[in-house]
């Protein structure tokens, strides 16, 4: 590997012109000859810089609407030639190829074009070919060539040149080469993913996944695990796109739980009224609607006050001062909402460790998306669970049909159960959870745990009976035996929603009829692991 390599000639060709002129001036001031193309050359000349067109170097004009301009031996030879190889040097001399010591390229805005909803042909035209080819060539030859693909590295480039008398060091070039290959890989991933969707290929033979580093973390789920957070470039409102107004950096667990909380609260349309979800370890410990946001929070909090301590709070409407005052009464890790007023921000200023995030909107719970989970030797890919049901989708299977009030609570409970780890049991009364059982190996155990939590909260709240009395129950999957349903009945539940589909459905239905419980089948399962 060679040592520091002087930069005498640079090729600049960028779609994103941010920082371009300043970089061009800085390079020119250091005696670097500037080569460029199209709009980049125009921008540099407008700033009074002397620029050599690539067309002058290649002897060919830009053609085919700019599709062909840098795909030429005099460009790629200048990037790929081994400067210490006599045969390469001789070939350069024979064919009039000049060395290119620095390549600064950022690519056609393909991802942004797709995000804008452009048509197929427009997206195709925004697939860069010459840019990735040059980047890969320069990155391969990083022993001699410096390649820069991100605006954020312009100052680092100049700093390294200043440290090495106009040259760059091997360590810096290696780092930039790695960044360059990651950029072209991410670009190709975006193109291939878009194209698979555009042509209806649901399970492409090869699937590429890419992301951009958003944050390195002190540790992951546990202190001995290293971790980082990457954004995938999507515009879905949530923790990845939120603005953080105060508090220390989010941890690995904070991000995971905040995402779970916001995706859950988004199930409740703000047009139908305020809603609040409180999450602990990715499971809801309280979800409720209310006449006001403060009331929704209070009702969610009263489901399980113990678990809510140190939890994550998500709201479906902008946070206001009165709600912030209620939240500030206990320790909370994160609050996420579409927005927050100045009164709320002032309340939280005294809570230095509380993170306040605003997103500008709610994610669409019905939008199509993909989820990925790593396993040893590979990863599992599936559609995001955007399953949705209405009252019209339900099938009454018992002698007694649910009342209108029970039906509203059943649909509320069903939305919550979708976001509870399986086996999931959710008791709801008057649009508020009153007991949540999550993640148990046995469904009947989840039913018992949720009921017991309600008993404990009744003592805390000074109630004469648990709020499960007169509640409804949602089960994310079918009851395989009547025992789970009967446990819910013993806790005071009067109606049940479940998918149905068990070979023992008839026995479960008979048990419900005997207990006087109304039961509906949704025909849809919501396992969450």
What are the catalytic residues?
140, 281
Instruction: Find out whether 523 and 395 touch, Cβ atoms under 8 Å.
Output: yes
- The region, left, alpha or beta by phi > 0 then psi within -120 to 50, assigned to residue 487 is alpha
d(CA 357, CA 517): 42
Task: Return the closest-CA partner of residue 254 out of 373, 370, 355.
Answer: 355
d(CA 527, CA 529): 7
C-alpha pair distances (Å), 68 with each of 40, 73, 80, 128? 16, 12, 19, 11
State the CB neighbour count (10 A cutoff) for residue 186. 19
> Count of alpha carbons within 13 Å of 177, Cβ hemisphere only?
19
Residue found under tokens 């479960």: 508
Instruction: Find out whether 296 and 431 touch, Cβ atoms under 8 Å.
Output: no
- Interhelix angle 130-140/73-80, rounded to 10 degrees, is 30
d(CA 416, CA 472): 12
d(CA 447, CA 487): 7
Host H or E run for residue 131: helix 130-140
Q: Cα 45 to chain center, whole Å?
A: 40
d(CA 295, CA 309): 18
Instruction: Find out whether 32 and 192 touch, Cβ atoms under 8 Å.
Output: no
Structure tokens at 20: 């371009």
d(CA 274, CA 322): 13
Q: Where are the alpha helices (DSSP H) in 266-374?
A: 293-301, 305-308, 321-327, 342-348
Query: Before 423, cis peptide (omega within 30)?
Result: yes
Instruction: Find out whether 212 and 231 touch, Cβ atoms under 8 Å.
Output: yes
């Amino acid at each position: 590997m060679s040592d520091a390599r002087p930069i005498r000639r640079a090729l600049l060709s960028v779609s994103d012109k941010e920082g371009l002129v300043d970089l061009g001036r800085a390079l020119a001031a250091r005696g670097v000859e500037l080569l460029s193309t199209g709009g980049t050359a125009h921008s540099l000349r407008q700033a009074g810089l002397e620029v050599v067109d690539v067309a002058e170097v290649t002897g060919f004009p830009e053609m085919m609407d700019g599709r062909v301009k840098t795909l030429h031996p005099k460009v790629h030879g200048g990037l790929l030639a081994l400067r210490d190889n006599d045969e390469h040097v001789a070939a350069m001399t024979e064919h009039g190829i000049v060395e290119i010591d620095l390549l600064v390229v950022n690519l056609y805005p393909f991802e942004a074009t797709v995000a804008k909803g452009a048509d197929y042909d427009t997206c195709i035209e925004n697939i860069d070919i010459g840019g990735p080819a040059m980047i890969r060539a320069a990155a391969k030859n990083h022993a001699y060539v410096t390649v820069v693909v991100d605006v954020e590295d312009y100052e680092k480039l100049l700093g390294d040149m200043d440290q090495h008398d106009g040259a760059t060091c091997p360590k810096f070039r290696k780092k930039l080469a790695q960044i360059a290959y990651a950029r072209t890989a991410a670009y190709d991933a975006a193109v291939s993913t878009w194209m698979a969707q555009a042509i209806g290929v649901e399970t492409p033979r090869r699937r590429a996944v890419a992301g951009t580093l958003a944050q390195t973390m002190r540790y992951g789920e546990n202190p001995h695990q290293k971790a980082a957070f990457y954004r995938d470039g999507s515009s879905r409102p949530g923790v990845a796109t939120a603005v953080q107004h105060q508090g220390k950096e989010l941890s690995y667990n904070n991000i995971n739980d905040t995402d779970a909380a916001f995706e859950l609260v988004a199930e409740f349309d703000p047009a139908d009224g305020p809603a609040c979800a409180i999450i602990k370890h990715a499971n809801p410990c309280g979800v409720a609607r209310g006449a006001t946001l403060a009331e929704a929070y209070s009702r969610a909090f009263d489901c399980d006050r113990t678990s809510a301590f140190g939890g994550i709070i998500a709201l479906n409407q902008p946070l206001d001062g009165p709600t912030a005052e209620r939240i500030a009464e206990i320790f909370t890790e994160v609050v996420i909402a579409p927005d927050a007023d100045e009164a709320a921000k002032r309340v939280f200023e005294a809570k230095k460790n509380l993170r306040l995030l605003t997103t500008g909107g709610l994610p669409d719970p019905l939008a199509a998306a993909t989820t990925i989970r790593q396993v040893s030797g590979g990863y599992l890919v599936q559609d995001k669970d955007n399953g949705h049901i209405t009252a019209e989708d339900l099938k009454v299977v018992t002698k007694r049909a649910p009342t209108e009030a029970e039906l509203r609570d059943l649909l509320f409970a069903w939305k919550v159960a979708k976001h509870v780890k399986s086996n999931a049991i959710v008791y709801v009364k008057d649009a508020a959870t009153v007991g949540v059982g999550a993640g148990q190996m046995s469904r009947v155990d989840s039913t018992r745990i949720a009921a017991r939590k309600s008993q404990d909260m009744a003592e805390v709240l000074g109630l004469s009976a648990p709020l499960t009395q007169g509640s409804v129950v949602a089960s994310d999957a079918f009851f395989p035996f009547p025992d789970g349903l009967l446990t819910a009945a013993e806790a005071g539940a009067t109606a049940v929603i479940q998918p149905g589909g068990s070979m023992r459905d008839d026995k479960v239905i008979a048990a419900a009829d005997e207990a006087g419980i109304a039961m509906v089948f949704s025909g849809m399962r919501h396992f969450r692991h």
